[in-house]
């Protein structure tokens, strides 16, 4: 058993003895899951780029694409160029286009893998006054670009629309217009203000119940053009309520990184599919759990995934928008990338105490691929902070 000295809230180093690892398969155990499951994937920064890291971002495309192959090997789909990839938080539309191009090229070499791509309005100047028509045209530009590449669309929430919309009717106008034009059914993403404060009041109300009714009205009017809706409100009750009100042809994709096990398992009225950032961090466990669920082993599903929930709740704790730091930190601990550097300098967004607790919870959840290797990396991080 490996023992490591970790900082604690009492400002002292405390010895922590690590658990025996669980050897999850590196390939999917199931030919097919009985849930659609996307991992919202992070990007790997280029640590040797000569840039001002708070103002620019440089991506290591080779390592970023390799991580997508790792997820596909485990049977998971990839949700590309979304908030987990620091979209709107270091990755702009030009960078997103490059990312989507690389991922689509990689997917074409692997028939049958799932890939969906985020589109939004983030190329609009955030300081400029824009109209509803300009927002529609911005969505149309990104949609046209990705459809021309052959990508499946995720219609991301628009900061610009949240800023200028005066009423629910403005949302109905924007979404009605773009949904009539899309070539294939899309996923609509309702990203809550806990993930992005600039999206507060989306769908025309700060009351989630009222906002939900507006969103549902748009979905029912355009159901033939909608594959599903992903909601990220971190509320089990709100997701279930909305799930039960969806048209029968429209999927609910859980974006609830606090309650995903219960929501994916479902109840007598239905279940949620998944489009989750936490699946990036716990991909082998997610794959193994979904394989158990597909085999009818509900106890095995919970046995694998329920221990990961405390870890997920820690990674996504408020301020939730900094969860990407924990996702990349865990990828580094697991040897899936050789550094803990992020575009925009976001590796500094969480405290050392937060990362130490993340290490403990990852070990308890048995999602550290190589505990000895993870302990060595953690020790190096502590040494950089003057703790030896």
Q: Where are the domains of the chain?
A: 27-345
* pTM for this predicted structure: 0.97
- Specify the CATH superfamily of domain 27-345: Aldolase class I (3.20.20.70)
pLDDT of 350 higher than 90: yes
pLDDT of 3 higher than 80: yes
Mean pLDDT value across residues 93-102: 97
pLDDT of 54 higher than 90: no
pLDDT of 64 higher than 90: yes
**The pLDDT of residue 385:** 93
The string over 28-40, giving b where at least 16 C-beta atoms fall within 10 Å of a residue's C-beta and e elsewhere, is bbeeebebbbbbb
pLDDT of 31 higher than 80: no
**The pLDDT of residue 165:** 97
Q: pLDDT band for position 150 (50/70/90)?
A: very high
Which of 157, 170, 89 lies closest to 345, judged by CA? Answer: 89
* C-alpha span between 81 and 41 (Å, rounded): 8
pLDDT of 21 higher than 90: no
Q: How many residues does the chain have?
A: 388
**The pLDDT of residue 194:** 97
Percent of the chain scoring above 90 in pLDDT: 94
Torsion angle of the four alpha carbons 213, 320, 315, 356, in this order, in degrees rounded to the nearest 10? -160
* C-alpha span between 333 and 375 (Å, rounded): 8
Give, as one character, the DSSP assignment of residue 110: S
pLDDT of 208 higher than 80: yes
**The pLDDT of residue 263:** 98
**The pLDDT of residue 1:** 80
Residues 169-203: tens digit of each pLDDT? 999 999 999 999 999 999 999 999 999 999 999 99
* C-alpha span between 272 and 286 (Å, rounded): 15
Percent of the chain scoring above 70 in pLDDT: 100
Q: Is 273 helix (H, G, I), strand (E, B) or coil?
A: strand
Planar angle of CA 250, 196, 220, nearest 5 degrees: 20
């Amino acid at each position: 058993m490996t023992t490591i000295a970790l900082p604690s809230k009492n400002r002292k180093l405390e010895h922590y003895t690590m658990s025996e690892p669980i050897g999850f398969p590196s390939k999917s155990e199931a030919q097919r899951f009985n849930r659609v499951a996307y991992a919202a994937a992070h990007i790997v920064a280029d640590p040797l780029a000569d840039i001002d890291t708070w103002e620019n971002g440089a991506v290591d495309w080779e390592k970023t694409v390799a991580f997508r192959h790792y997820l596909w090997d485990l049977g998971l789909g990839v949700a590309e160029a979304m908030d987990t990839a620091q979209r709107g938080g270091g990755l702009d539309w030009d960078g997103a286009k490059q990312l989507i191009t690389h991922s689509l090229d990689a997917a074409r070499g692997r028939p049958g893998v799932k890939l969906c791509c985020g589109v939004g309005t983030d190329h609009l100047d955030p300081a400029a006054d824009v109209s509803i028509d300009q927002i529609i045209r911005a969505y149309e530009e990104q949609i046209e670009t990705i459809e021309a590449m052959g990508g499946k669309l995720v219609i991301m929430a628009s900061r610009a629309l949240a800023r200028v919309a005066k009423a629910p009717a403005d949302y109905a106008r924007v979404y009605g217009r773009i949904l009539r034009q899309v070539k294939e059914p899309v996923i609509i993403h309702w990203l809550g203000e806990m993930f992005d404060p600039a999206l507060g009041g989306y769908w025309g109300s700060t009351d989630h119940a009222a906002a939900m009714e507006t969103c549902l009205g748009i979905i029912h009017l355009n159901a033939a053009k909608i594959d599903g809706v992903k909601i990220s409100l971190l509320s089990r009750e709100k997701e279930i309520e909305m799930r039960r009100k969806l048209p029968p042809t429209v999927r609910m994709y859980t974006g609830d990184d606090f309650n995903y096990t219960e929501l994916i398992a479902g109840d007598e009225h239905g279940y949620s599919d998944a489009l989750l950032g936490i699946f990036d961090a716990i991909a082998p466990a997610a794959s193994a759990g979904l394989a158990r669920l597909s085999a009818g082993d509900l106890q095995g599903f919970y046995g694998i995934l329920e221990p990961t929930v405390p870890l997920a709740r820690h990674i996504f704790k408020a301020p939730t928008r900094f969860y990407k730091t924990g996702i990349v930190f865990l990828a580094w601990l697991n040897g899936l990338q050789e550094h803990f550097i992020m575009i925009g300098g976001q590796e500094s967004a969480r405290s050392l105490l937060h990362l130490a607790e993340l290490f403990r919870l990852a070990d308890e959840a048995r999602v550290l691929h190589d505990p000895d290797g993870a302990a060595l990396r953690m020790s190096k991080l502590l040494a950089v902070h003057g703790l030896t």
